[in-house]
Amino acid sequence: MTDASHSNPVSGAPERGVASARRATTGTSWRAWAIYAGVLATFVASLVWWRQRAPTTGQTLWLVGLMMQTIIRAPWVRATRQNHIVASRRTTRDTLLLGAMFLATLLLPLLAVGTPLLDAAELRPPAIVTACGTIVLAACLWLFWRSHRDLGRNWSPTLEVRDAHGLVSTGIYSSMRHPMYASIWLGVVAQACLIDNLVPAAAGPVAMAMMYFGRIAAEERMLAERFGDEWEAYVSRTGRLWPRRAGAVR
Ligand code: SAH
């Protein structure tokens, strides 16, 4: 799995070589940051000149959550650039699933907050829903931070194996295998409670379900091939999204 001559079990295509994978990492991250900055700039301009209405309390909390997620992830995007990709299993399907997540957890919520385009689907939930959303958002941000810290330079936005890729089985990963996905599940639930609009409230969980169930088997297969018995032993003592064993996080 570490050499570039293996074929991709998902698409059947040969895996990309080291050089092209290196180019792809840098290119993808620059493109992603440029798109992200452009979307946020357009959002602020639209909020001020078109929307002309302050976000609700829930929407403000959602925006704070978005900013905190960006701040938590940013150093790892930089750090992983030095840990080059040696095998990529990025497929067209995975790219489409990431696109659906981008739409459901960034574009649609920003349209709801910053423009009148989705006003027909506005919601006015009771304060208890906003309060619950805030608690779920706090849990999401803690787990998002903790999983990034523990996964370190092994993190990838898609299915990839890196140069110095070790199996992480300590910290939050000692009891659950997919804490980052668990945090994103919490994030879409928090979004549904806080965004005060039916369209992004429904789209977030739907896109996450598509991404999670469309990716999880391929990700675990990739790690099983890479880490063999070490992976099997790890699976036997952990849960996917929920800790299998009670115990303090080391
Ligand atoms: N599914 C994990 C990680 C998401 S990031 C979570 O939800 O926490 C996706 C990348 O993480 C994949 O490309 C895979 O190579 C890597 N990865 C997933 N679990 C890992 C582990 N236990 N140790 C090392 N790398 C892992």
pLDDT tens figures, 182-206: 999 999 999 999 999 999 999 999 9
Chain centre distance of CA 209 = 12
> Would residue 250 count as lying in a domain?
no
pLDDT tens profile 17-31 = 333 444 444 455 678
Nearest-CA residue for atom 1 of ligand 1: 178
> Would residue 226 count as lying in a domain?
yes
Residue 230 has pLDDT above 60, yes or no: yes
Residue 147 has pLDDT above 60, yes or no: yes
How far apart are the CA of 49 and the centre of ligand 1, in A?
42
Nearest-CA residue for atom 11 of ligand 1: 155
CATH of the domain at 140: 1.20.120.1630
What is the structure's pLDDT at 87? Answer: 82
Q: What percentage of the chain exceeds 70 in pLDDT?
A: 86
Cα–Cα distance, 70 to 68 (Å, whole number): 5
Identify the helix (H) or strand (E) that includes residue 215. Answer: helix 198-236
SS3 64: helix
Nearest-CA residue for atom 12 of ligand 1: 159
Q: Which range of residues forms the domain containing residue 161?
A: 18-236
> Would residue 27 count as lying in a domain?
yes
> Would residue 104 count as lying in a domain?
yes
What is the structure's pLDDT at 157? Answer: 87
Residue 153 has pLDDT above 80, yes or no: yes
> Would residue 5 count as lying in a domain?
no
Q: How many distinct structural domains can be found in the chain?
A: 1
Residue 81 has pLDDT above 60, yes or no: yes
Q: Which pTM does this prediction carry?
A: 0.86
What is the structure's pLDDT at 29? Answer: 67
Torsion-angle region of 52 (φ positive above 0: left; ψ -120 to 50: alpha; else: beta): left
Residue 16 has pLDDT above 70, yes or no: no
Average of pLDDT values for 88-95? 88
As a whole number, the mean pLDDT across the chain is 86
**Which distant-in-sequence residues (6+ apart) come within 8 Å of 104 by Cβ?**
188, 200, 203, 204, 206, 207, 208
Least confident piece of the model among 34-43, 96-105, 194-203 = 34-43
How far apart are the CA of 69 and the centre of ligand 1, in A?
18
> Would residue 189 count as lying in a domain?
yes
pLDDT tens profile 117-133 = 999 999 999 999 999 99
Tokens of 189: 């639930």
pLDDT bin (cut points 50, 70, 90) of residue 248 is: very low
> Would residue 153 count as lying in a domain?
yes
How far apart are the CA of 151 and the centre of ligand 1, in A?
7
Ligand 1 pocket test: which of 154, 168, 222, 238 has the largest number of ligand atoms within 8 Å of its C-beta? 154
CA 168 to ligand 1: nearest atom: 23
> Would residue 167 count as lying in a domain?
yes
- Ligand 1 cavity residues, CB under 6 Å: 147, 151, 154-156, 159-161, 167-168, 173, 178-181, 219, 223
- 8 Å CB contact between 16 and 86: no
